[in-house]
């Protein structure tokens, strides 16, 4: 089915000079395996670029917004602001799920696996905006859609070390130390994606995703805290 990216532009408040670049931002590598005539390519390189732009923009924003905060706190804020969970949340709010170009197999993914695809596409979109219109446009887009999330992150203390909190709560209530295991690992070496499960005894409590094992473990710990009502 042909995707109407003009409609997405209107909904997201962006306007591309090169619509093929926008299409590429939504194109997963697997899609091209089933559509070999496509010329625009997949989104991994754009995601690589967008990740760097997102980090710079968010770092400058936090540096300016919290002038009295130490480096360690700012680093924790940034990690919570730009992680796969937050990026996927923003991508969902933008309606990006309806425009992803995936293989038939990838299109069946739901839950956290789909969240990783959305987060990647969101970063690729930032990279595409940067290439198409420059740094200021990418900064303004991030500022409109992602940076406001910092208020919720601070309010809910999502920047805190979720693994430590989970360990404290689980030992307190059940006398058990949580354990973690990598359930799935995908993507090329420069852009790995991990899905990690967190267990209490031998019972799987929750899963989390991230671009490193550490990020995925934090995501899983946050999900477990929510699942247990802690």
Question: The domain spanning residue 13 has which CATH number?
Answer: 1.10.1520.10
Domain boundary among 155, 185, 220: 155
Give the CATH number for residue 220.
3.30.160.20
Tell me, what's the pLDDT at 113? Answer: 76
Domain boundary among 155, 185, 209: 155
Output the tens digit of pLDDT for each of the chain's 230 residues.
Answer: 568 899 999 989 999 999 999 999 999 999 998 888 776 799 999 999 999 999 999 999 999 999 999 998 999 899 899 988 899 999 999 999 999 999 888 888 777 678 889 999 999 999 999 999 999 999 999 999 999 999 999 987 788 888 988 998 999 999 999 999 999 998 877 778 899 999 999 899 999 988 889 889 988 998 999 898 88
The active-site residue out of 44, 47, 51, 215 is 51
| Residues 90 and 177 occupy one common structural domain | no
The active-site residue out of 44, 106, 123, 215 is 123
| Residues 109 and 215 occupy one common structural domain | no
| Residues 126 and 181 occupy one common structural domain | no
| Residues 9 and 65 occupy one common structural domain | yes
- The whole domain housing 132 covers 5-155
Q: Tell me the whole-structure pTM to 2 decimals.
A: 0.76
| Residues 206 and 175 occupy one common structural domain | yes
| Residues 114 and 144 occupy one common structural domain | yes
168 assigned to active site: no
Tell me, what's the pLDDT at 159? Answer: 85
- What is the per-residue DSSP string for the chain? ----HHHHHHHHT---S-HHHHHHHTB-HHHHHH-TT--S--SHHHHHHHHHHHHHHHHHHHHHH-TT--HHHHHHHHHHHHSHHHHHHHHHHTTGGGG-B--TTGGG--HHHHHHHHHHHHHHHHHHHHHHH-HHHHHHHHHHHTGGGHHHHHHTTTTS-HHHHHHHHHHHHHS---EEEEEEEES-GGG-EEEEEEEETTEEEEEEEESSHHHHHHHHHHHHHHHHT-
| Residues 10 and 36 occupy one common structural domain | yes
Please count the structural domains in the chain: 2
Domain boundary among 155, 172, 199: 155
| Residues 103 and 133 occupy one common structural domain | yes
| Residues 115 and 166 occupy one common structural domain | no
| Residues 112 and 28 occupy one common structural domain | yes
123 assigned to active site: yes
Tell me, what's the pLDDT at 40? Answer: 75
| Residues 34 and 69 occupy one common structural domain | yes
| Residues 17 and 68 occupy one common structural domain | yes
């Amino acid at each position: 089915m042909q995707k109407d990216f003009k409609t997405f532009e209107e909904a997201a408040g962006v306007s591309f000079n090169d619509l093929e670049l926008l299409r590429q931002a939504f194109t997963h590598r697997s899609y091209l395996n089933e559509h070999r005539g496509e010329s625009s390519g997949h989104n991994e390189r754009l995601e690589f670029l967008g990740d760097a732009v997102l980090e710079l923009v968010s770092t400058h924003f936090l540096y300016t917004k919290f002038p009295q905060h130490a480096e360690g706190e700012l680093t924790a804020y940034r990690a919570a602001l730009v992680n796969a969970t937050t990026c996927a949340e923003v991508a969902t709010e933008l309606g990006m799920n309806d425009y992803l170009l995936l293989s038939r197999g990838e299109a069946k993914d739901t839950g956290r696996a789909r969240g990783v695809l959305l987060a990647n596409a969101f970063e690729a979109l930032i990279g595409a905006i940067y290439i198409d219109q420059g740094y200021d446009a990418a900064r303004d887009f991030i500022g409109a859609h992602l940076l406001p999330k910092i208020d919720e992150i601070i309010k809910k203390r999502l920047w805190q070390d979720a693994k430590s909190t989970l360990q404290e709560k689980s030992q307190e209530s059940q006398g058990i130390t949580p354990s973690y295991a990598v359930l799935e690992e995908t993507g090329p070496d420069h852009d790995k994606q991990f899905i990690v499960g967190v267990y209490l005894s031998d019972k799987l409590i929750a899963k989390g995703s991230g671009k490193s094992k550490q990020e995925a473990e934090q995501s899983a710990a946050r999900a477990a805290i929510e699942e247990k009502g802690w």
